[in-house]
Amino acid sequence: MLSNVRYMELLIFLILFPLLIAGLITLIHGENFRRGAVICGAVLVGIASLFALMGSVTSHPIFYSVPVGIIGILIFIGDIAISGYIIFVSTKARQYLVTAITIIQLILLCAVEYLALSDHATIPELFLDQLSGIMAAIIGIIGGLICVYALGYMREYHTEHPERPDKRPQFFGIMFLFLSAMFGVVFSNNLLWLFFFWEITTLCSYLLIRYPETDEAIKNAFRALLFNLVGGACIPIAFIVIFLSHGSDLIGLHELVVAGPGIALIPAGLIGIAGLAKSAQFPFSSWLVGAMVAPTPVSALLHSSTMVKAGVYIIARFAPVFEGQLIGILIALIGGVTFLAASAIAISQSNAKKVLAYSTIANLGLIVACCGVGTAEALWAAILLIIFHAIAKSLLFLSVGTVEHQIHSRDIEDMTGLVTKMPRITMIILIGIAGMFLAPFGMLISKWASLHAFVESVPPFGILLVIIIAYGSGITAFFWAKWMGKLIAVGEPQQKDESHIPKSEKNILYILSALTIGVCFGFPIISWYLIEPWLQNIYQSVTELISLSNIEIMFMMLFLVLIMPFSLARFSRSASRVPRYLCGIPESRSTEFIGSCGITREIELSNYYLDKIFGEERLSRISVGIGIFLIVLILNIIIVGGGL
């Protein structure tokens, strides 16, 4: 094991090294250099994040004070530079609301800096504990794999879209800058540092979403910027509350959480609103759906290992503060409503990326609901949800990107019988979908734990959350199952054609598939050595969260789930093919028949999308209204200062 100082040097490396790679890729052009830099950078970042994860397996957090005092001034200058750039681009694009909010945020930030100079903070700037170690592994491994996958994808992307400017050096530079900022978010104990890295992720998301430079992409990029700036403006307000009430001693994330709800609840509520915006909860969810216009690696990065995970990470940090408090209950209700509504909207979508987008919003809602409840068991479920969702969702997004390049469509209806044309990619997609909702994969285990935690939380809100999650989970099974059905539906035999898929893409998909299955086997170890010790430090007393009998049942179920697809494959090879009975005279093709009027017809099978019941526009409007109402209630509680 490394010493504490070495681990802190490792944290600085993880923050600065991706920044170095970003600069090199942006400045030095050439595809061979870019490929080598991306692969080497991803490998080194992944290895370093694993060392950080191992270093977090300690009884207490490790804190580190950066000896260079000028860093704080440079961070403030960086905040001003980010705000100045946003003001410039938003004014140029006549997005004056974005400009106004940025100016307000900058004024608040200057007030915070003035207070910080008059009462200099002496808290450690960086820290490492089990949660930041888990998040670092997600960022480093999943984020790095996405960057490597993007090498082949972006080459194909510009081949298919020659009219769009090829800015791959800037694209990969922003991707690695994103990773650098995310490491800064999860390692920062100083809240001023955390806010700086938080704003970098907001800026990077804007730049990546507008990459296609179409009118729609630019519009959606500014929407993402607007919503995240609205939420982000709450963080400087929280800083002002902290400085005016308690001075600089509580400007540390760890120190603020330890102070408890009596002191930290109002700042936690304000920062929690920023987390809701970043994690695309209603009423902020439309920015994440709009982000689908970006290339698929951007979607995977935003949805799985970065950006939205920053939102749920910061809410999870304040979960002990929210336990049993009205602000926490309201945050949990926002998460519950988001989970139910986004799951329902996903039923009406045939665009695979939109299904994944609403599924992401829904699962983030479940995580937020767990964090709002704030009990040890609920937080345990939330951390597991973060882990399983990051791996399975990145696998699904990248798989859909690969399929889209091969069949030139992302519509689920066009994926009918994909198993006969692209059997390996189809199996990978099925693993990803199974990881999202089938027993005994982790998402279902985490949902079961969240239900148990909600039952024991504050009545009657706990029962309401149980009802919401139960119905939402049923809806989730519906839209995943109908997608799986389209993939494995066997129509006319098709020639297998997976030769055009870049090798780098296939290798990344294989690795993510193995991780999806591997984490299901290894999650008890993750719980015992990482999550439970972290919860023990926070709550002091934690009951057994996973028993040996449950693990035995889970392994038996996992064995059956993994064996069944291979059994079906063996059966299908030996089965004989017979013509369908189509209520008419069969033609030579098994999907054609002559109808009663002598007209040759082809059978068509389609899913139910139930647009009139689960229409996106109507449900979004209702859910946004509920979300605004709940956030207004949170702000009213904060304004009156009660917090209870």
300-329: burial string, b at 16+ Cβ within 10 Å, e else: bbbbbbbbbbbbbbbbbbbbbbbbebbbbb
The residues facing 64 across adjacent strands are 126
Distance (Å) of CA 125 to CA 2, 122, 195, 206: 20, 9, 12, 27
169-188: burial string, b at 16+ Cβ within 10 Å, e else: bbbbbbbbbbbbbbbbbbbb
Positions of the chain with pLDDT under 70: 1-4, 59, 118-121, 305, 438-446, 458, 490-495, 497, 541-598, 601-605, 641-644
Q: Which distant-in-sequence residues (6+ apart) come within 8 Å of 547 by Cβ?
A: none
Q: Specify the pLDDT at position 205.
A: 94
Q: Specify the pLDDT at position 309.
A: 86
Q: Specify the pLDDT at position 558.
A: 60
Q: Specify the pLDDT at position 270.
A: 95
Q: What's the CA angle centered on 50, arms 45 and 55, to 5 degrees?
A: 125
Alpha-carbon torsion (221, 295, 356, 609), positive or negative: positive
- Please state, in angstroms and rounded to a whole number, the distance separating the CA atoms of residues 349 and 354: 7
Q: Specify the pLDDT at position 307.
A: 73
Q: Specify the pLDDT at position 2.
A: 59
Q: Specify the pLDDT at position 130.
A: 93
253-269: burial string, b at 16+ Cβ within 10 Å, e else: bebbbebebebbbbbbb
Q: Specify the pLDDT at position 523.
A: 80
Whether residue 39 contacts residue 62, with contact meaning beta carbons closer than 8 Å, is answered with no
Q: What's the CA angle centered on 615, arms 611 and 619, to 5 degrees?
A: 155
Q: How many CA atoms lie within 13 A of 546 on its CB side?
A: 23
Q: Specify the pLDDT at position 591.
A: 62
Whether residue 302 contacts residue 242, with contact meaning beta carbons closer than 8 Å, is answered with no
